[in-house]
Amino acid sequence: MTFTPDFLDEIRNRLPVSEVVGRKVRLTRKGREHTGLCPFHNEKTPSFTVNDDKAFYHCFGCGAHGDVINFVLETEGLSFPETIERLASQAGLQMPEFSPGDRQKSKVKKTLFDLMETVTHWFESQLAAQVGSEARNYIQRRGLSAATTRQFRLGFAPNSKMALKDAMLAREEFSEDMLIEAGMLIKPDDGGESYDRFRNRIMFPITDRQGRVVAFGGRALSAQAKAKYLNSPETPLFHKGRLLYNLSGARKAAFEKGRLIIAEGYMDVIALSQAGFPESVAPLGTAVTEDQIREMWRLAPEPFLCFDGDKAGKRAAIRVVERSLGLLKPGHSLKFVYLPDGEDPDSFVAGHGQRAFETLLARGVPLATVLWEELTNDSDFDTPEQRAGLEQKIARTLTEIKDQKIRLYYESDFQKRLKNLFGDEFVPDINLREQNKAFGNRENQSGRNAKNTYRKRPYNVNEQEKSIGNLNNTEIGKNAYLSVKDRERLIILTVLEHPWLLERHEELFATLEFESLELDKTRNEIIRIASRDSDLEKETLRHQLFENGLGQVVDTISRQGVLTAQKFIGRNSSAEETEETWLHSIELFHLEKIEKDIAILGSKDLNEEEFARLQALLEEQLASNKKISDILGKDT
């Protein structure tokens, strides 16, 4: 099977090299590069580098060099078609069904790239000529230097219906059909003669990730123009919902600074770049799309989106928030910068300077705060019904967050905000389930609608205290009141002291869902080390964790007094006691996870699928509580 260059390029564009390599090599970010130990030869000092900006890896020790495709080929032992199939799946691409026509389309696209580059040169020449004097004056009035004009390759489309068409058709390699396909000419529906799409406009070339011109934006010089800005239509080269203006130009600065700025228009991006913010991009005349959000996160984990401070700007910000909720992932979010009334980034940096704009960025509003303000502004919460309505609205909104860990953190954060909003009269809400852990009294389930087949009841505090009181007489009970993070530390610390546990329970340990990212990373590294050493010793495990940069985490876990007081962790406890009590700790860990899931479902009206899930969780909760009761009966 053969693959067109376009398809292979799309794979390379969608998958950062560090993401693919990072699954095999522990990488450390240094500036705009990542470094690590080379997987192709044994070394103790890192000489292996990964550069997402240039889309390749390189080892200065052994000379290994390549892109994401080369890396998988070299490390996975797959054939080329198998490699492409795997990477295409990771990139969210459908495997193509190639035909001779597909190869012809690839050739056509290459020719269209040549055409767009030639058109760009021609627009630049028109700006420099006498016909472009008005456009040059406009650019100068906007404060753009000659160097900036050249950097962004600004041009001018003369006020003529045939100027570009005649210039391009004078060259043998281009045809009228190609100009139409590239979006540079308009062909009337009535069959009339084609003519230039852009006329009497300042031209802004739009490039793809590799810096190739794929489209244009045109700013009208005439106040009577029907549209102030006009963009190229969708073409074989240009899909406006996937690209960002100045994407290729901003990549280097974004990697170096670790941030990305998103403005609204072309002039904003150019002005920001000239003012010292080259890490600036803009959507292409449309609302920000999901593909564009993913593209932003490839360059920076928390991009800054700039909006006007008026109502329209805040509505635009909310649309971005709503679109991004389902995409949120650990370490990646958005921040929002609101400009003073009547200002845009272009006018602001021109009037106030670089330092003032840096101050605006420093005041960037987190996504969570923007969402909270949207949910609570312009509403009254004086009555119980209004407060319950807010709780329901929050619960429904947060279900849009697909990542479970992030959703739980949002629920915890919004719980605290509700306490501050309602004060002393605050009523337990979506995440206050420590006082309302169990849902029961599922009466007459067969005769009711699914959402009415259960009702909430407060957890019996007396029963809980009695149970925990008995539990405290056991070794397992001493960690019953631990925080989630301390319990996760306890589970890991036991493995650190007794690595032999992994011989029987490696899969159980590997599938635990830790909330702490650093502890989850530590657990994953322990599994990786154990998979290579079937007779792992305590000292060897700790040494390798320290070697892999996790020494501080291990020290923190080991210093926790509440953990080290657990007898079963120490060397004097029997293997049987250690194993049994460690499994009991995991049971408590699972029970808390179940109760959190119950709390989430219990905060909203349920459909049939969700109700079935709630029933299953309640059964799991009963079974888990029974196990804990059995432990009490055995140990007391």
pLDDT band at 440; cut points 50, 70, 90: very low
* Residues 114, 31 share a domain: no
Q: How far are the Cα atoms of 50, 296, 441, 490, 502 from residue 251, in angstroms, in the given order?
A: 15, 10, 58, 42, 43
- Between residues 100 and 225, which one has the greater pLDDT? 225
Q: Is the pLDDT of residue 537 over 90?
A: no
Q: Is the pLDDT of residue 442 over 60?
A: no
Cα–Cα distance, 358 to 349 (Å, whole number): 10
Burial class (CB in 10 A: 0-12, 13-18, 19+), 42: exposed
Instruction: Indicate the residue among 90, 122, 155 that finishes a domain.
Output: 90
Q: Is the pLDDT of residue 465 over 70?
A: no
- Name the DSSP class of 162: S
Q: Buried b / exposed e across 289-305, counting CB within 10 Å, b at 16+?
A: beebbbbbbbbbbbbbb
For the chain, the distance separating the N- and C-terminal CA atoms, rounded to the nearest angstrom, is 68
Q: What is the pLDDT of residue 179?
A: 95
Least confident of 46-55, 302-311, 560-569: 560-569
Q: What is the pLDDT of residue 104?
A: 53
Would residue 198 count as lying in a domain? yes
Would residue 146 count as lying in a domain? yes
Q: Is the pLDDT of residue 462 over 50?
A: no
For residue 161, the number of C-alpha atoms closer than 13 Å in the C-beta half-sphere is 6
* Residues 405, 358 share a domain: no
Question: pTM to 2 decimals?
Answer: 0.58
Please check whether residue 204 is in contact with residue 152, taking contact to mean a CB–CB distance below 8 angstroms: yes
* Residues 414, 471 share a domain: no
Q: What is the pLDDT of residue 631?
A: 53
Cα–Cα distance, 532 to 272 (Å, whole number): 51
* β 213-220/229-231 pair status: antiparallel
Angle formed by the axes of helices 517-532 and 484-497, nearest 10°:
20
Q: Is the pLDDT of residue 464 over 60?
A: no
User: What mean pLDDT, rounded, does the chain reach?
Assistant: 80
CATH number at residue 111: 3.90.980.10
Cα–Cα distance, 284 to 604 (Å, whole number): 38
Cα–Cα distance, 133 to 156 (Å, whole number): 10
Least confident of 57-61, 126-130, 458-462: 458-462
CATH number at residue 360: 3.40.1360.10
- What are φ and ψ of residue 190, in 5° steps? -80, 5
* Residues 596, 510 share a domain: yes
- Between residues 96 and 126, which one has the greater pLDDT? 126
Please check whether residue 327 is in contact with residue 293, taking contact to mean a CB–CB distance below 8 angstroms: yes
Q: What is the pLDDT averaged over residues 90-96?
A: 81
Instruction: Indicate the residue among 231, 261, 277 that finishes a domain.
Output: 231
Q: Is the pLDDT of residue 441 over 50?
A: no
Q: What is the pLDDT of residue 619?
A: 74
Which one, of 341, 333, 336, 343, lies nearest residue 364 by Cα?
336
Q: What is the pLDDT averaged over residues 561-580?
A: 64
Would residue 465 count as lying in a domain? yes
Please check whether residue 253 is in contact with residue 278, taking contact to mean a CB–CB distance below 8 angstroms: yes
Token pair 């319990």 in the structure block, residue: 487
The per-residue DSSP string of 205-271 comes to EEE-TTS-EEEEEEEESSTT-S-SEEEPPP-SS--TTT--BTHHHHHHHHHHHT--EE-SSHHHHHH
Angle formed by the axes of helices 538-547 and 551-559, nearest 10°:
130
Please check whether residue 239 is in contact with residue 215, taking contact to mean a CB–CB distance below 8 angstroms: no
Q: Is the pLDDT of residue 416 over 60?
A: yes
CATH number at residue 60: 3.90.580.10
Q: Long-range contacts: 311-319, Cβ < 8 Å, 24+?
A: 313/338, 313/339, 314/338, 316/287, 317/370, 318/370, 318/374, 319/287, 319/288
Token pair 């790239």 in the structure block, residue: 113
Q: What is the pLDDT averaged over residues 481-506?
A: 81
Chain centroid to CA 601 = 25
Which domain range does residue 603 map to?
461-635
Q: Is the pLDDT of residue 250 over 80?
A: yes
CATH number at residue 531: 1.10.860
- Between residues 282 and 32, which one has the greater pLDDT? 282
SS3 365: strand
Would residue 455 count as lying in a domain? no
Cα–Cα distance, 111 to 105 (Å, whole number): 10
Q: Is the pLDDT of residue 520 over 80?
A: yes
Q: Is the pLDDT of residue 506 over 70?
A: yes
- Between residues 34 and 2, which one has the greater pLDDT? 34
Token readout for 419 is 């306490």
* Residues 314, 206 share a domain: no
* Residues 137, 41 share a domain: no
Q: Is the pLDDT of residue 634 over 60?
A: no
Q: What is the pLDDT of residue 203?
A: 97
Instruction: Indicate the residue among 202, 231, 260 that finishes a domain.
Output: 231
Q: Is the pLDDT of residue 306 over 70?
A: yes
* Residues 365, 506 share a domain: no
Please check whether residue 227 is in contact with residue 206, taking contact to mean a CB–CB distance below 8 angstroms: no
> pLDDT tens digit string along 586-621?
888 877 777 777 877 776 666 666 676 777 777 777
SS3 401: coil
Q: What is the pLDDT of residue 346?
A: 92
- Name the DSSP class of 185: E
Count of structural domains within the chain: 5
* Residues 350, 287 share a domain: yes
Query: What percent of the chain is modeled with pLDDT above 90?
Result: 33
Please check whether residue 20 is in contact with residue 70, taking contact to mean a CB–CB distance below 8 angstroms: no
* Residues 18, 109 share a domain: no
pLDDT band at 531; cut points 50, 70, 90: low
- Between residues 469 and 10, which one has the greater pLDDT? 10
Least confident of 89-98, 156-165, 434-443: 434-443
Please check whether residue 541 is in contact with residue 449, taking contact to mean a CB–CB distance below 8 angstroms: no
* Residues 202, 313 share a domain: no
Cα–Cα distance, 636 to 618 (Å, whole number): 27
Per DSSP, what are the bridge partners of residue 305?
262, 336
Token readout for 536 is 């792992």
Q: What is the pLDDT of residue 401?
A: 92
Q: What is the pLDDT of residue 636?
A: 41
Q: Is the pLDDT of residue 632 over 80?
A: no
* Residues 500, 583 share a domain: yes
Would residue 433 count as lying in a domain? no
Cα–Cα distance, 373 to 488 (Å, whole number): 33
> pLDDT tens digit string along 325-379?
999 988 899 999 999 988 889 999 999 999 999 999 999 999 999 999 999 987 7
Q: Is the pLDDT of residue 100 over 70?
A: no
Q: Give 282-318 as a 3 state SS string.
A: ECCCCCCCHHHHHHHHHHCCCCEEEEECCHHHHHHHH
The per-residue DSSP string of 455-515 comes to EE----HHHHHHHHHHHTTSTGGGGTT--HHHHHHHHHHHHHH-TTHHHHHHHHHHH---S
Which residues are within 8 A (CB) of 503 and not within 5 positions of it... i.e. 6 or more apart? 534
Would residue 23 count as lying in a domain? yes
- Between residues 128 and 91, which one has the greater pLDDT? 128
Would residue 449 count as lying in a domain? no
Q: What is the pLDDT of residue 323?
A: 92
Q: What is the pLDDT of residue 424?
A: 57
pLDDT band at 569; cut points 50, 70, 90: low
- Between residues 452 and 175, which one has the greater pLDDT? 175
* Residues 468, 575 share a domain: yes
Cα–Cα distance, 429 to 415 (Å, whole number): 7
Q: How far are the Cα atoms of 63, 430, 524, 600 from residue 404, in angstroms, in the given order?
A: 42, 15, 19, 10
- What are φ and ψ of residue 507, in 5° steps? -65, -40
Q: Is the pLDDT of residue 381 over 50?
A: yes
Which residues are within 8 A (CB) of 259 and not within 5 positions of it... i.e. 6 or more apart? 279, 300, 302, 303, 304, 361
Q: What is the pLDDT of residue 454?
A: 33
Q: What is the pLDDT averaged over residues 243-252?
A: 90
- What are φ and ψ of residue 36, in 5° steps? -175, 180
pLDDT band at 477; cut points 50, 70, 90: very low
pLDDT band at 274; cut points 50, 70, 90: very high
Q: What is the pLDDT averaged over residues 312-329?
A: 89
- Between residues 392 and 621, which one has the greater pLDDT? 392
- Between residues 104 and 573, which one has the greater pLDDT? 573
Least confident of 122-131, 306-315, 442-451: 442-451
Token readout for 356 is 């003032």
Would residue 209 count as lying in a domain? yes
Q: What is the pLDDT of residue 444?
A: 36
Q: What is the pLDDT of residue 134?
A: 96
Q: What is the pLDDT averaged over residues 481-505?
A: 81
Q: What is the pLDDT of residue 167?
A: 96
